[in-house]
Structure 1
Amino acid sequence: MKQLIKMEMKRAFISWPYFFVLLIGILISILHVKQEIMPSINFDYPRKEGDPLLTPWTRWIGFEYTSFTTNLLYLLLPILAAIPFGDSYYLDQKSGYLKGIMTRSSKGNYLLSKYFVTFISGGSVILIPLMINFLICSWLLPNTPQDPTWGNAPLVDSSMWVDLYYEHPYLYVSRYLAIDFVFAGTLAIICLAVSVAVKKQFAVLLAPFMVYLVMFVIFPLAGLEQYSPFLFLKPGQGVIGLTVTKIITIWFPLWMLSSLIFFTGAWKSEAY
């Protein structure tokens, strides 16, 4: 099992799709710094300690939920999460790799390894650009603690974890990075579920984006913006009334249903 995971990790992380997608995420992260941070430092607000408008806690790509680069990153999130390894099960069946690996490993070990590595690769291509952007912002901008009386923070009094944001901002950012990582990993798992029944690579990779897009359209139309991943995955919380329970209400069914479809469908498959 351990050897199989190492092999799958190598296939996922040392590959041109992973590097390509990671590069896109990093370029968006750097573009945000160029468009949103550098002009402010040079012209609008001189860099100085104590400036409440120029800090990582207000200008990180995760907090600037109205900027072009933030919306671009979170719009592409399901596609970026899917490309590195989401179609690997489909490709293993098509190439005959699946039958070959079954001579050296059990079906259960293969499926668990595939599931684990797909999840990790999908989450990491979102996590890394967000972390890089945060580190750059922390390096360029003064680390001025936020005060709720200033009124310039991205969060409002009713926002989820608002007290944590002001009292322990690093912990707030860490929690949100974990949420984004888990959700991106779950979207990658949707590819595995779809590849059990669908034999078109493009459809397999596009499936998470379609699910994401449907939720983005349907929930706001129904007055349930808090349930749209495109909105609640942004740490700046550009939506009122968000709670952990509402996030779990969307994430858990997606994760459970995708996992069940993949494991039951792949286990019964005659492709082995």
Structure 2
Amino acid sequence: MKKANVYKEEFFRAFWNPRWLIVILLSIIIFFIGNYRWPIPLKNPVNRMMMLLDYGYFDFLGAVLLAVPFADSFLTDSQQGFTRFIIQRTNFKHYLSAKILATGLSGGVSLILSNLIVFLLGLGKGIDFSDVSFRAGYQGTMPWGPFSELYGQNPCAYFGYLLLSVFIFGFVWSLLAMFFSTLSRNRYITLAAPLVITQGLRVLIERNDIVPYQLNALFGLQPYAVFFERPTFSIQLLQYLAVLVLSLIGLFVFTRKKHETI
């Protein structure tokens, strides 16, 4: 099997599978929960989307959504004997690289899709990008995190930043979930790993002054939400980089061990 065909196969499996229906369904649930918990009308659809996500438990469900499409696929291949079949036809490194890229992209796209679904469903309440007033569950005139001033200047550009932010978050954290699939033969542990880690760090930070706020992984998922300290873009990038490096090192080390036993 040629290298290009390996990538084509993994991308097809990642983006053409019924699990995307779960992503869509959970996104719709997020919208209705957020709409119920935040009934206050907002003119700007970007502001509306942020509040719907914030009150729709996106901080919980987003960490699950990114893993749903493809994060456990390496484990599935191993359990079904597909890995052995693949490495008989192509280089294992090509297979692993394709798997990593497909998993990361599926994780990022799943969160973009979720945000877009909530955004589009919220358009039924009106569209007015010219209104740059900002309302939230706290007293503030702008979003909390990086590029908050951009919202007042160009809400559409800020919307683009939010989509880019969740895409990178989904990309790196889906790889961390994939890494956990090499440690455990339980797919549920793989799918739940991002949720457990992000919420675990959140609880430690909120209840323990020793743990630095920079470890709050939810900065990248909801940079506009209120935290104890205002996150900066540099902290956001460092978090992405740390998770990416840890995931890739773990994947190459542990998949190599599995490859040697096949």
The residue that corresponds to 2:31 in the other structure is 29
**Which among 188, 202, 207 is matched to residue 221 of structure 1?**
207
1:160 is aligned to 2:146: yes
Bigger Rg, structure 1 or 2: 1
Equivalence map 1:239-258=2 (5 Å): 239=227, 240-258=229-247
Q: Alignment partner for residue 20 of structure 1, among 10, 19, 22?
A: 22
Tell me which moved more, 87-96 or 240-249.
240-249
Shift of 1:232: 5.2
Among residues 118, 136, 140, which one is paired with 1:133 in the alignment?
A: 118
Unmatched tracts of structure 2, length 5 or more: none
In structure 2, do the counterparts of structure 1 residues 155 and 75 end up closer, same or farther at CA, with 3 Å as the change threshold?
A: farther
Q: CA deviation at 1:20?
A: 1.9
- The structure showing larger relative contact order (alpha-carbon pairs under 8 Å, at least 6 residues apart) is 1
Secondary structure, aligned partner of 2:90: coil
Decide whether the 8 Å contact of 1:57 with 1:146 is kept in 2.
no
Conserved in 2, the CA contact under 8 Å of 1:5 and 1:113? yes
Q: For the residues of structure 2 that align with 1:216 and 1:131, how far apart are their CA atoms?
A: 26
- TM-score, length-scaled by structure 1: 0.81
> Which residue number corresponds to residue 48 of structure 1?
none
Compared CA separation, residues 226 and 15, structure 1 to 2 (3 A)? same
Match of 2:108 in 1: 123
**How many pairs does the alignment contain?**
253
Any conservation in 2 of the 1:12–1:18 contact (CA below 8 Å)? no
TM-score if structure 2 supplies the norm length?
A: 0.84
Query: Structure 1 2/195 Cα, relative in aligned 2: closer, same or farther at 3 Å?
Result: same
Change (3 A) 1:179 1:113: same
Trace 1:10-89 onto structure 2 (pairs within 5 A): 10-29=12-31, 32-33=34-35, 35=36, 53-60=42-49, 62-64=50-52, 67=55, 69=56, 72-89=57-74
The separation in 2 between residues aligned to 1:218 and 1:245, in whole angstroms, is 22
Q: Residue 254 of structure 2: which of 251, 260, 265 is its match? A: 265
1:208 aligns with 2:194: yes
SS at match of 2:66: helix
Aligned alpha-carbon RMSD (Å): 2.6
Structure 1 residue 117, shift from structure 2 partner: 0.7
Between the aligned partners of 2:143 and 2:108, the Cα distance in structure 1 is: 30
Distance 1:31 1:64 in 2: 8
